[in-house]
Amino acid sequence: MKLLRTLGFFHVNMLLLSATLGTGIFVSPKGVLKYSSMNIPVFLSIWAGCGLLSIMNALCLAEIATIYPVNGSSYYFLKRTFGSSIAFLSVWIKLFAHFLAIGSQCLLIASSLIQCFYSGCPAPELAKKCLALAILWSFGILNAQGMKIDAWFNTIISFMKLSVLCLISLTGIVLLVIGKKENVSRFENALDAEVPNFSQIADAILQVYYSYLGSSILIVLAGEIKTPIETIPKALIYGLSFVTVLYLLTNISYLTVLTPKEIISSDSIGVTWMNRVFPSIQWIISLLISAFLLGSTSCGIVSASRIFYSASQGEQFPLIYSMLNDHHAPVIAVIQIVILSSVAVISSNIIYLLKYIGIGAWFTNLLHMIALLKLRYQNPDLPRPYKVWLPFIFGSIASSLFLIFTPVIQSPSIEHVYQVGFLFCGLLCYWFQANLNRHAVCFDKITCYCQLLFNVSPSEDPEKLIPSSNPD
């Protein structure tokens, strides 16, 4: 049994769009415009610049995926470069980020759907949580059916997302071409606006950058992509370039229809835009906007389950998580992430812990870049099917350092102490699991019963797919 390479170039691009195009484009422009001092050229430049930064960072990770063409390639890369403790710490950070994010997304989907039946008053919390759990477990069942079905689902969701953003973008272009005075006037004196200082630009960049996250799904799924050496770099370049252009056109459309003050005062810019342009079909668009969360949730479960799968094959999680069902899906790993996300839905207060993981996520990315430099220095003759341009690695290191230290320097708070404490808890859990593995024989019978209950089989050793010349 092994995970099948079923994803071609088309489905890889659709998965990338499904994971990257999220609700950030409806929320982030508010904060970015505020921190840009309502300076439209600076506002649009930040969106374009962050798109280029995301492409640069993704291409650096693509080199890792082509050296280690297996699921969770970044995990194996860190394990071989820095050792088991750092690899476990990266898994610790990613799993917490995934199940907390999945829980919050399911609650948001449930809120947007159920609010239609409670106009004028807030929906009951119990009803929202029950619907959120139903949505979450439906996604779990979908993921247990194998990657091919999940890829087609995300393809449909991607087309829904593209339809909404293309409608917004094309409408904005038409309104600009028509040249109505109230639409064009906002761009006429754009260069006369106040220029924000460095601190404000830093805050704006932090707001935008999260709208481009999601490209890491291709690195996690490298073992299920056909010809990953060619497909992953091309998909990242084409897909993220398209996302950057689409985000720019969407923001231009926002500015064409709404004033900067209206954008800043809006909770959901997409809904406000629809109310202004297409008030009669606003409820339909609201349902389509919820598709942005559906795709992100589905991709989150896929990514998290493959992280469990990789850590299990690396002998840092129980063996049962790397076993596959008849659909070649790690069903136990899927069930585990759904259970953890269900806890986040039921005890919704713990979702606020998500903000304590930010530094850890960028710290992991920094480790990836340093490990790339280390590998090039220690093993320059290692076959690299795809080799990223060296300045891109230094640029990614600089952006990671910027995103780690800027919030700490600008506004130090107790939250940053909690973030560091979260990292130390990961190392403590690594020590615990390392000692537990020495006495893991007593769990063999439990593993056997679970294997029979879920009808799963051990998967193929990923070491067969990794070049033996890599340093241990």
The first and second tokens of residue 91, run together, are: 């898994």
| pLDDT at position 470 | 43
- Does residue 467 carry a pLDDT above 60? no
| Distance from C-alpha of 147 to C-alpha of 158, rounded to nearest angstrom | 16
- Does residue 192 carry a pLDDT above 70? no
Looking at the DSSP bridge assignments, the partners of residue 225 are: 7
Domain for residue 3, yes or no? no
- Does residue 436 carry a pLDDT above 50? yes
| Distance from C-alpha of 264 to C-alpha of 224, rounded to nearest angstrom | 42
Domain for residue 472, yes or no? no
Check: CB of residue 456 under 8 Å from CB of residue 318.
no
**Residue 61 neighbours by CB under 8 Å, 6+ apart:** 74, 215, 216, 219, 368
Tokens 């990338």 found at = 16
Position with higher pLDDT, 415 vs 144: 144
Q: What's the mean pLDDT in 442-470? A: 73
- Does residue 291 carry a pLDDT above 80? no
What average pLDDT does the chain have? 84
- Determine which of 22-36, 181-195, 225-239, 390-404 has the lowest per-residue pLDDT on average: 181-195
Band (pLDDT 50/70/90 cuts) for residue 268 is confident
Q: What is the pTM for the complete model shown?
A: 0.89
Domain for residue 48, yes or no? yes
- Measured from the Cβ of residue 127, the count of other Cβ atoms closer than 10 Å reads 14
Domain for residue 470, yes or no? no
Domain for residue 197, yes or no? yes
CA 18, 102, 370: angle at the middle one, nearest 5?
Answer: 75
**Residue 291 neighbours by CB under 8 Å, 6+ apart:** 157, 160, 161, 164
CA 24, 267, 28: angle at the middle one, nearest 5?
Answer: 25
Q: Which CATH number covers residue 394?
A: 1.20.1740.10
359-408 pLDDT tens trace:
777 888 899 999 999 988 888 888 888 889 899 999 999 988 888 888 77
325-354 pLDDT tens trace:
888 899 999 999 999 999 989 987 766 666
- Does residue 188 carry a pLDDT above 90? no
Cα dihedral angle (87, 405, 197, 44), rounded to 10 degrees?
Answer: 10
| Distance from C-alpha of 113 to C-alpha of 290, rounded to nearest angstrom | 8
- Does residue 34 carry a pLDDT above 80? yes
SS3 7: strand
The first and second tokens of residue 99, run together, are: 């199940």
- Does residue 469 carry a pLDDT above 60? no
pLDDT > 70: percent of the chain: 89
Domain for residue 366, yes or no? yes
- Does residue 437 carry a pLDDT above 90? no
Check: CB of residue 191 under 8 Å from CB of residue 41.
yes
Check: CB of residue 323 under 8 Å from CB of residue 332.
yes
Domain for residue 276, yes or no? yes
Band (pLDDT 50/70/90 cuts) for residue 235 is very high
Which residue, 138, 451, 92, is CA-closest to 307?
A: 92
Which of 108-117, 162-171, 462-471 ranks highest by mean pLDDT?
Answer: 162-171
- Measured from the Cβ of residue 120, the count of other Cβ atoms closer than 10 Å reads 4
| pLDDT at position 113 | 78
Domain for residue 227, yes or no? yes
| Distance from C-alpha of 303 to C-alpha of 248, rounded to nearest angstrom | 28
| pLDDT at position 352 | 67
| pLDDT at position 355 | 65
Looking at the DSSP bridge assignments, the partners of residue 457 are: 324
| pLDDT at position 149 | 92
- Does residue 472 carry a pLDDT above 60? no
**Residue 199 neighbours by CB under 8 Å, 6+ apart:** 410
| Distance from C-alpha of 45 to C-alpha of 148, rounded to nearest angstrom | 38
Full domain range(s) for residue 138? 9-465
Tell whether the torsion through CA atoms of 368, 369, 370 and 371 is positive or negative: positive
Overall domain count for the chain:
1
pLDDT > 90: percent of the chain: 30
Check: CB of residue 299 under 8 Å from CB of residue 22.
no
Position with higher pLDDT, 250 vs 207: 250
Produce one character per residue of 225-251: b if its CB has 16 or more CB atoms within 10 Å, e if not: beebbebbbebbeebbebbbebbbbbb
| pLDDT at position 185 | 65
- Determine which of 28-32, 123-127, 237-241, 357-361 has the lowest per-residue pLDDT on average: 357-361
Q: What's the mean pLDDT in 27-49? A: 88
